[in-house]
Amino acid sequence: MRPSRIIAALALLVGLAAPAGAARLISQMSNDTIEITSSFDGERMSFFGAIVPDSGSEDLVVKGPFHVVIVVVGPTADRVARQKTHNFGIWLNTDQVTFRRFPSYFHVLSSGRLRDITDVTTLTTQFILPESHTLKPNEAGWWKTAVFGRELVRLMTEEELFGVNQNAVNFLSENVYSARLTLPSNAPPGSYLALTYVFRNGEIIARKSEGFAVRKIGFERFLALAAVQQPLLYGLICVILALFTGWLGGLIFRR
């Protein structure tokens, strides 16, 4: 999945090189790594940017009004949505649809209502709407995919892993914006991509993609790696720790 990410990033760079309009986006994020420590309880991030004339352009300023949409996509995983139905008096999972390489985190920040910024086709083809990730062809058939996809997006939204905030981007002047995002404590570790789109009259006139990483560091990283890379040793250490704690407890509280 890493190579495809790189290809996607390259494609975006190529898109940047081609003159999409006479504008260019300069932007900056507050963090390029978010470190998960033992006290990790979510993290606030800020995005800043300015829309300036493209290099080689004669203009001194680019005329707005602009709209900015920032899409933050987390690492992907195969995720399954399941439905419980009532059978023989009990509720059990009977139906499921698997969504391959579905983002584990997806937040959209925008400077206005998405429907006002551009049309649904652009929103869908650029993967700006959360639902657009569920529209990939799926062996379950399009009807089931649509139904389960909508429910999956709702579940992810309830977990604060998906979200659309339509007034998160504020313009400080006509060309300069800032935006805030709070990553929740359950944000999955991995590589993230922040894709910024600048719209004018419903058209994308500039875009930029920046990556950042959410990763466990120190002891948490060590534990998570040990559990995967040395499972036998990890299990043995768990048991030794448990035996020791039990023995110590008996010793301390010996009546």
Interacting residue ranges for other proteins, rule: CB under 8 A: 1-2, 36-41, 75-86, 89-93, 96, 98, 101, 104, 148, 151-152, 154-156, 185-186, 188-191, 215-216, 220-221, 223-225, 227-228, 231-232, 234-239, 241-243, 245-250, 253, 255
| Angle in degrees, 0-180, between the axes of helices 231-252 and 218-229, rounded to the nearest 10 | 120
Reduce the DSSP state of residue 22 to 3 states and report it: coil
CA 139, distance to chain mean position in Å, is: 25
Q: What is the nearest approach in angstroms of other proteins to the Cβ of residue 28? A: 26
Q: What is the nearest approach in angstroms of other proteins to the Cβ of residue 52? A: 35
Angle at 73 between CA 115 and CA 207, to 5 degrees: 60
Q: What is the nearest approach in angstroms of other proteins to the Cβ of residue 142? A: 18
Q: What is the nearest approach in angstroms of other proteins to the Cβ of residue 133? A: 13
Which tokens is 185 given? 């404590």
Instruction: Tell which residue, 105, 113, 234, has the closest CA to residue 166.
Output: 113
> In terms of DSSP bridges, do strands 162-165 and 106-110 run parallel, antiparallel, or are they unpaired?
parallel
Considering beta carbons, is residue 13 or 80 the nearer one to other proteins? 80
Considering beta carbons, is residue 81 or 194 the nearer one to other proteins? 81
Which tokens is 61 given? 């300023």
DSSP state of 56: T
Q: What is the nearest approach in angstroms of other proteins to the Cβ of residue 211? A: 13
Angle at 103 between CA 98 and CA 104, to 5 degrees: 95
Q: What is the nearest approach in angstroms of other proteins to the Cβ of residue 215? A: 6
Round to whole Å and give the CA distance between 198 and 47: 14
